[in-house]
Amino acid sequence: DALLGCHRSYRSRPTHGIGKFKYLLPKELPKKRKEKVQVKEIDAGTEYQYGDVNIQMTSYDLCLVEHFAQYVHRLCNRLSIRVNESYAMPTKTNEVLFMEEKGSKMQLDAVLTTHQRVVQIRGLSSTFAPILLEIIQSSQPEGVHLLVKQHTEADFKSRLKSRPELEELLAEMS
């Protein structure tokens, strides 16, 4: 025990660190644990502060929407408004068919993709909210539809995959 407990390393001697080998092995990265998607607590807000607010931007043009979302995020950072999350909602694809006027009832196609980005804010004071809305409105690009609303659990659940088996079982149980 006394032999094992002795860790004198003689740092001045050239034999210092003579047993080490771990620095020669390749570095093992810590095992990535899958971050479980959890329902975060939704802040209701006090009388003088709004709770979790979602700023949702929708458009057919991907670049415009991305850039606008980045602009809003940076604006909030600059105005020291706490941004909880800044995420993208799944894209929706629409096939547009229209009737030809020549009477042969043909339908031509166009495929449109709708993109949506969401910036979630917390702790917006009631006096500053209209100012923020004004600024965002004044720099709103064309074709981008803006929607500002409070965050609800239904909003969060719309991002998750549907589980038909679970729902079927729950329906059968009750």
Partner 1 sequence: PCRAQPKKKKKVDVKKEQAQKERMKKKLKKLEKAAPELIPIEDFITPLKYSESNRVRSLPPLSPEESERRVLLMKKWCLFKQKQDEAEKKAIKALVESQQEALKELRLESEELYQAAIRRDEGLFPFERDGPSYTPPLPGYDPPEGKCVDITKVYTQ
Site residues, partner 1 (CB under 8 A) = 34, 36-38, 45, 47-50, 53, 59, 62, 79, 88-101, 107, 111, 115, 126-131, 133-135, 137, 139-150, 159-166, 169-170, 172-173
Task: Identify the CA nearest to 73 among candidates 119, 115, 116, 117.
Answer: 119
Between 16 and 159, CB nearer to partner 1:
159
Q: Which is nearer to partner 1, 82 or 135 (CB)?
A: 135
**What is the DSSP pairing of strand 53-59 with strand 145-150?**
antiparallel
What is the closest distance, in whole angstroms, from the C-beta atom of residue 41 to partner 1 in the complex?
Answer: 17
Euclidean distance between CA atoms 152 and 52, whole angstroms: 8
Fill in the amino acid letter for 81. I
Which of 143, 132, 146 has its CA nearest to residue 69?
146
Cβ of residue 154: shortest distance to partner 1, in angstroms? 13
- Least Cα distance to 132 among 146, 115, 117, 116 occurs for 146
Shortest separation between residue 86's beta carbon and partner 1, angstroms: 13
Taking the complex as a whole, the smallest distance from the CB of residue 91 to partner 1 amounts, in Å, to: 5
Choose among 41, 61, 66: nearest CA to 119. 66
Q: For partner 1, which is the closer residue by CB, 51 or 83?
A: 51
